[in-house]
Amino acid sequence: MIYIHQEKLQELLQILDSKTLGISSQIAKGDWRFVRAKIESLERQCLWQDLWSYCKSLLSGDDDTSLEGDITKPATGDNAGDWRVWQGLIRANAEINTTELGMPIRTGIGFKKG
């Protein structure tokens, strides 16, 4: 995306979150390329809490473009196998470095509590 190459990341996030032009708009229609662009933009800006929340919402079904289902159960849907969402979630968790955020990730990928 042009905005990423020009390092206009805040502007990009505003557009991607816009109801008229954003990811959930009639124009974008949930195109997964825009979802990935949002993940990349959040990472480049080091907005770790926002990145964690966004990726978690995609995996848990709390977002219009979600992968459907609970984060602790196998995701289903067309984009359920998109490792980019998991990468964003794991990276954000590592940067935030809290146990509270890490448990859903470990549980979601099959690790037991302990």
**Tens of pLDDT along 51-74?**
999 988 888 765 555 444 444 444
pLDDT in tens, 12-40: 888 888 888 888 888 888 788 889 889 99
Is residue 89 a part of any domain in this protein?
Answer: yes
Beta carbons of 37 and 1 less than 8 angstroms apart: yes
The CA-CA-CA angle for residues 32, 35, 38, to 5°, reads: 155
Is residue 114 a part of any domain in this protein?
Answer: no
Query: Domain range spanning residue 24?
Result: 2-108
Beta carbons of 104 and 72 less than 8 angstroms apart: yes
When divided into structural domains, the chain yields a total of 1
Is residue 113 a part of any domain in this protein?
Answer: no
Specify the pTM: 0.69
Is residue 9 a part of any domain in this protein?
Answer: yes
